[in-house]
Amino acid sequence: MGEGKKATFSADYRMTAKTLFGLEEVLASELLKLGAKNIEKHNRAVSFTGDKGFMYKANLCLRTALRILVPISTFKVKNEEDLYNKVKEIDWEKHMSVHDTLAVDCALNSELFKHSQFLSQKTKDAIVDQFRDKHGKRPSVDLEHPSLRISLFVYKDTCIVSLDSSGESLHKRGYRDKTNLAPLNEVLAAGMIMLSGWEPHLSFVDPMCGSGTLLIEAALIAANIPPGYYREEFGFERWKDFDKELWDTIVDGCLGRISSRDARILGTDISRNVARKAYENVHLAKVEDTVVVKTSGFTDLEAPAEKGTLILNPPYGERMDSEDINALYKSIGDTLKKNWKGYDAWIITSNMEAVKHIGLRPSRKIMLYNGPLECRFLKFSMYSGTKKIHKLTDQKSKI
Ligand SMILES: C[S@@+](CC[C@H](N)C(=O)[O-])C[C@H]1O[C@@H](n2cnc3c(N)ncnc32)[C@H](O)[C@@H]1O
């Protein structure tokens, strides 16, 4: 579809970028930097306006977006039948042909309806029936790899039908092959790094690196590599109006801004096997020139530079007894005090009991979700002198 078309300018339209809880602010600032207009924050989403080229760019470049949705119809809905009829009124031939395949996702926040799957089904029925009525033939369903992914959002009695321009969720970057236990979602990892305020000229350390997600996301940020660089495909590439020439221009422009910045990123893990897999992922992501991976227990690790940011995603204790997990968190606190003066240390965990054993007071607490687990992302500022001296130096540098 769309092959050989000339690049055209298109009008601005409204879009919604979906994200994870707690990353709305970061996503809004990413959008602002990228050139989005009329940005508005919502719960787990940010809406904005831009043209078709901007939609391509948002998919390629946003680190904290899960999907970019393009709304095509908003209406009030009373019941399932009403939904069916209103979806059938949309001119689907503008967006797909009878030979295409479709999938419908539904997010439901309404007392009028109970089952999101039933609403997806009704929506799909309305679309295929429209084609059957007109052509005697219907498009088929492909839940895995459809030519058109449709998103339905029902809030109270309002229904928004959107086209999902991303296809597969954008957290599926395409660089990771080997996963160890409990890898972080890539969007969450990127969001955590951005929330930490890490500046790429300073050192970045993940001392419990697992599959290496934080290391790779940090390397991508440092070199300005678009997170979508490794993806084989985005949903919009299969759309009827896909503009290959425009897409190529966008990709060339973004790849042209990749820099060979000399970042210092260190990842370690206590397990040799895990560290080896993390290195393989770093290699697959082609960032081995900026990332070093070693085998080491956190207590034995020394800071590689005087200043920097350290992010820890330790075990939360689901597979450990409470004595062991508390002891692990105590050793984290002791090691931070001893070896990491001058660093901003951030820890994400769902285990608020174990956190008490760190023995340090966090200066910031941010609520995030790691999958279904409600977590806190905690900042511990490891001052190099006493807090008082640090404050004085801060003031001096402002004068
Ligand atoms: C929850 S996983 C980290 C997942 C990682 N962020 C990712 O995206 O794949 C925790 C990791 O900490 C490592 N670990 C546990 N105790 C450690 C210690 N004392 N020192 C270093 N690594 C440790 C484990 O081997 C495991 O790989």
**Per-residue pLDDT tens over the stretch 197-253:** 999 999 999 999 999 999 999 999 999 999 999 999 999 999 999 999 999 999 999
Residue 269 CA to ligand 1 centre (angstroms): 6
User: What pTM value is reported for the model?
Assistant: 0.93
Q: Domain segments of the chain: what residues?
A: 13-164, 186-225+259-398
Does any ligand 1 atom lie closer than 6 A to the CB of residue 208?
yes
pLDDT class of 391 with cuts at 50, 70, 90: low
Residue 315 CA to ligand 1 centre (angstroms): 6
Is it the case that residue 128 has pLDDT exceeding 70? yes
Does any ligand 1 atom lie closer than 6 A to the CB of residue 313?
yes
Q: Which atom of ligand 1 is nearest to the CA of 271?
A: 25
Residue 369 CA to ligand 1 centre (angstroms): 18
Does any ligand 1 atom lie closer than 6 A to the CB of residue 275?
no
Does any ligand 1 atom lie closer than 6 A to the CB of residue 39?
no
- Let me know: does 358 contact 342? Beta carbons within 8 Å: no
Q: What is the 3-state secondary structure (H, E, C) of 213-234?
A: HHHHHHHHHHHCCCHHHHCCCC
pLDDT class of 397 with cuts at 50, 70, 90: very low
Does any ligand 1 atom lie closer than 6 A to the CB of residue 315?
yes
Residue nearest to atom 16 of ligand 1 (CA): 270
Residue 313 CA to ligand 1 centre (angstroms): 7
Does any ligand 1 atom lie closer than 6 A to the CB of residue 211?
yes
pLDDT class of 387 with cuts at 50, 70, 90: low
Q: Do β-strands 158-164 and 148-155 pair in parallel, antiparallel, or remain unpaired?
A: antiparallel
pLDDT at 318: 83
Residue nearest to atom 2 of ligand 1 (CA): 210
Q: Which residues of 190-227 are buried (b: 16+ CB within 10 A; e: fewer)?
A: bbbbbbbebebebbbbbbbbbbbbbbbbbbbbbbebbb
H or E stretch at 341: none
Fold (CATH) for 13-164 = VC0802-like (3.30.2130)
The pLDDT mean for the chain works out to 92
- Let me know: does 217 contact 171? Beta carbons within 8 Å: no
Report angle CA 354, 355, 357 to the nearest 5 degrees: 70
Fold (CATH) for 186-225+259-398 = Rossmann fold (3.40.50)
pLDDT at 386: 53
Q: What is the 3-state secondary structure (H, E, C) of 229-280?
A: HHCCCCHHHHCCCCCHHHHHHHHHHHHCCCCCCCCCEEEEECCHHHHHHHHH
Strand-by-strand arrangement of the 101-109 sheet: 37-42, 45-50, 13-18, 67-76, 158-164, 148-155, 101-109, 140-141
Does any ligand 1 atom lie closer than 6 A to the CB of residue 187?
no
pLDDT at 260: 80
pLDDT class of 394 with cuts at 50, 70, 90: very low
Give, as one character, the DSSP assignment of residue 300. Answer: G
> Among 79, 55, 83, 81, which Cα is nearest to 68's?
55
